[in-house]
Amino acid sequence: MKYKILDHPADLRLLVQGKTYQELFTAGLKGMTEILAPHLETPVKKSQRTITLKSPDITALLIDFLNEVLFLAQTYKEVYQEVNFQKLTENSLIAKVWGRSIKEFKGDIKAITYHEAQIKKNLQGNWETVLVLDI
């Protein structure tokens, strides 16, 4: 499971990879948290939120999931470092995210867009996609 923050002329690209969908989605969550609040200390599980979603396909599901996490983060002034998927299929999920409340965000994200996103297997056989974030 890994993520990499890449360049975009006006916004940000986030490359996410994982051996499984769980790993891929977790990489997305951690990448986003790194942008909102870089260099957080050891994960803590003080705040817990549940996310239930249905989407047309796996790529849309990842984007919808991250947008939901973003909504929770900005509404409750929290960032999430851990996630547990009770269910994760091609087009639906139930997830619990854990994290901490923070005083201020270091970075802003307006939304995770569908532009350029497509989950597919890379040469190493892992799931991968690039996400464009409007910041």
Partner 1 sequence: MDIKKNLIKITDWLWEIPKSFRKDLRVPARIFTTEKMLEATLNDKSLEQLINVATLPGIQQEALVMPDVHEGYGFPIGGVAAFALENGIISPGGIGYDINCGVRLLRSNLTLGEIKPHLADLTQAINQAVPSGVGRGGKLKLNDQELDLVLEKGAVHLVAKGYGEPADLEHLESGGCLPDAKAELVSQHAKDRGRDQLGTLGAGNHFIEISRVAEIFDEKEAQRLNLFPEQIVILIHTGSRGLGHQIATDYIRLMLKVLPKYKISLPDRELVCAPFNSSEGQQYFSAMAAGANFAWANRQLITAAIRQAWQKSLGLAAGPLEIVYDVAHNIAKIEEHFLNGQKKKLIVHRKGATRSFPNQPVIIPGSMGTASYVLVGQEKALKESFGSTCHGAGRALSRHQAQKTVRGAEIKQKLNKQGIIIEAGSLSGLAEEAPQAYKNIDEVVEVVHQAGLAKKVAMLKPLAVIKG
Count of beta carbons in the 10 Å neighbourhood of residue 63: 22
Instruction: Assess 82 for contact with partner 1 (CB under 8 A).
Output: no
Instruction: Assess 107 for contact with partner 1 (CB under 8 A).
Output: yes
C-alpha 28/C-alpha 24 separation (Å) is 6
* Strand residue runs (E) in 1-134: 2-7, 12-18, 47-54, 78-88, 92-101, 111-112, 120-121, 127-134
Which of 1, 94, 115, 130: binder of partner 1 (CB under 8 A)?
115
C-alpha 24/C-alpha 10 separation (Å) is 25
Phi, psi of 112 (to 5 degrees): -95, 125
Instruction: Assess 47 for contact with partner 1 (CB under 8 A).
Output: no
- CB nearer partner 1, residue 22 or residue 55: 55
- CB nearer partner 1, residue 79 or residue 88: 79
- CB nearer partner 1, residue 47 or residue 55: 55
- Site of interaction with partner 1 (CB under 8 A): 5, 7-12, 36, 55-56, 60, 64, 67, 71, 74-75, 77, 104-108, 110-111, 113-117, 132, 134-135
